[in-house]
Amino acid sequence: MENRSHALMAGIFTLVLLAAAALAAVWIGRDRTQLQPYEIISATAVSGLNPQSTVRYQGVPVGKVQSLALNPDKPGQVRIRIGIAPNTPITESTWAELGVQGVTGMSNVELRDDGSSMARLESSAAHPAAIPLRPGFLDRVEQRGGKLIANVEEVTEQLRRVLSEQNVQALTASLQNATDLTQSLKEASRDLAPAMAKVGPLMDSLGNASRQADRAAREVGDLAQQARQSVARLTGPGGALSAATSSLNDIALAAARLDGETLPAITGMAANVSEAARGAAVTLRRVDNTPQSFLFGPAPREPGPGEAGFAGFGR
């Protein structure tokens, strides 16, 4: 009996000690921070979310889920009350998403903010401010699941059509044709081997011809350069063409001077000579008619009618 009483006392002491340790752990781990209440209205299922779930702001833990309740005013909605540290910058552009923690299936609240608003969202215990809830990744996948399945079915149908028996036969025939073409190319390459062996000397001959043509082109270029230099010397200042042009200009000037000065002088001189010749002819005729006039001068002219000494016409 004494052994049983000792065992009972030891068991009771162990239970009391475990209860005290649990109470101490709860008391030590209790968060004494005064949290700011906010409310999230969800129109979708919140599976995996429970009180004391973590609330994160941009991935940083800032609070806990305080309670979950159905919205009596609007069936199908869930009211999620969360407590957030007062220094968390909750603004009017903050929204919430439901995230999933790994493979456990437990959910948590993720708060996001794009920084479009700097106005703080005021909240109180009596009137907690509402934070809008946006569909998370899994919710978006679920919403688009029907369309994704339809696309998968369409792709599967297209693959089935592409891989039909007729198309497979056509593909097999194409592969066989490609194999035959490859074999034909191999045979042609073997037949072209002797011709390809002669291509090397032919290319050398073409190279020599190209070099000779290049040399001839350079010589023609040199001749053209010399011709341009000769033309430049002929047409340049002091060149033969310039000298010939100057000579022609001198000849034209001399001809103009001959026509304008010398020929009129010669014409006047010829007129004077002609007049002198006529005078000489008159003098010679006079001497021939009256030779004494050569010694005594010309006979005095007989007076005419009305002049003194006129004797009349009868003499």
**179 shares its domain with 206:** no
- On whether residue 181 sits in a domain, the answer given is yes
Is residue 64 within 8 A of residue 154, CB to CB? The reply is: no
Both 127 and 38 in a single domain? Answer: yes
pLDDT of residue 38: 92
Strand order in the sheet with 129-131: 94-101, 106-113, 54-57, 60-70, 78-84, 36-42, 129-131
**Cα–Cα distance measured from residue 182 to residue 195, given in angstroms and rounded to the nearest whole number:** 20
Residues 261 and 172 in one domain: no
In the predicted model, what is the mean pLDDT of the chain? 77
Residue 103's pLDDT is what?
64
What's the number of domains the chain is made of? 4
CB 83 within 8 A of CB 35: yes
- Tell me if 259 is assigned to some domain: yes
Domain that holds residue 218: 192-235
Rounded to whole angstroms, the Cα distance separating 96 from 40 reads: 8
Q: How far is CA 152 from CA 147, 165, 242, in A?
A: 9, 22, 93
* Residues in the chain where the model's pLDDT stays below 50: none
Question: pLDDT at position 144, please?
Answer: 67
Based on the domain organization, do 96 and 149 belong to the same domain? no
pLDDT at 133: 86
- Is 5 part of any domain? no
Summarised one tens digit per residue, pLDDT across range 8-53 is: 777 788 888 888 888 877 676 565 568 889 998 888 878 888 888 8
* Residues 47 and 97 both lie in one domain: yes
- Within a domain: 105: yes
- Looking at the structure, tell me whether residues 204 and 226 fall in a common domain: yes
The amino acid at 134: R
Three-state DSSP class for 13?
A: helix
- The per-residue DSSP string of 180-232 comes to HHHHHHHHHHHHTHHHHHHHHHHHHHHHHHHHHHHHHHHHHHHHHHHHHHHHH
Tell me whether residue 14 is in a domain: no
